[in-house]
Amino acid sequence: MRRHYTIPLPDGRALGLGPRTLVMGVINVTPDSFSDGGTHLDTGAAVVAGLRMAEEGADLIDIGGESTRPGAASVPADEERRRVVSVIQALAQRVKVPLSIDTTKAEVAAAALDAGAVIVNDVSGLRADPALGPLVAARRAAVVLMHMRGRPGDMAAHAVYRDLVGEVAHELASCLTVAEAAGIARDAVILDPGIGFAKRAEHSTALLARLDAPALCALDRPWLVGPSRKSFLQAALGDVPPAAREWGTAAAVVAAVFAGAHVVRVHRVAEMLQVARVADMIVAARSPSGAIS
């Protein structure tokens, strides 16, 4: 049974998480992202993609300027900032959908928040840049803290677990402690189990299956899950390219909703919105009251 949360945003709005699954659209303003690298590198193309996602019903839009695919090289902060700021500025003026900046760098996050973003999505869980936590606190932004070990360039070497769920829960609890020490309100935090980050296919699959495990539920924060087009799907689909993994993504989105995810992060908004709505309807039918709770 999914818990309900309210996430305050710095512009006075709030995200209501729980009554239905929110769908976050992904825009990678990069040349090298695993799924759509180069597609939205041009500002105009990225803005058009964001407008389309808003029209299709996206609840959130996540914009990133640095690839976090396995083995990806780091991007200098000034280049990352250059890629994303104009996109965020243009979208903030034209859509009401809350915008998220996917970055690990305080410098980039500050520029993105100035441009109109209201959420910081940090795949490092506040571990990469000590200045990011205090910035998020000072701006009263919402923040997504993801589980990852190492950095994208070397994270595969850290995919060794004796107790997968227990270790992920413990390490996310450490991220929450870092956030609290930085002055971030607990109500502002969303957690992400980090599907595909420092995890082999069997680890990602197990986390999707056990997102409602007691150790993870004890963290008492809403969940964002990002299975879209990721390589773990190949364990079931075979060697198919990212763009051909939409049906596999759909199955993973359903599993995430059934396990209690509050937000799903996807590349194809219209299709996955339908998937999430049907999954929500089935979850509601399982509730004694007939409503998601």
Whether 96 is catalytic: no
Tell me the pairing of strands 22-28 and 60-64.
parallel
Return the structure tokens found at 86.
């104009």
Q: How far apart are CA 287 and CA 293, in angstroms?
A: 7
Q: Which of 265, 268, 277, 286 is catalytic?
A: 265
**CA distance linking residue 103 with residue 64, whole number of Å:** 6
131-157 exposure pattern, b = at least 16 Cβ within 10 A, e = fewer: ebbebbbebbbbbbbbbbbebbeebee
Point out the catalytic residue in the list 105, 127, 230, 268.
230
Distance of alpha carbon 117 from alpha carbon 141, whole angstroms: 9
Query: What six digits make up the tokens of 52?
Result: 């389309």
Q: How many other C-beta atoms are found inside a 10 Å radius of the C-beta of residue 214?
A: 9
Active site residue 2: no
Structure token pair of residue 49:
């993609």
The helix or strand, by DSSP H or E, that contains position 99, with its residue range, turns out to be strand 99-102
Q: Which residues contact 181 (CB under 8 A, 6 or more apart)?
A: 133
DSSP 56: H
Give the residue numbers annotated as catalytic, written as ranges. Answer: 230, 265
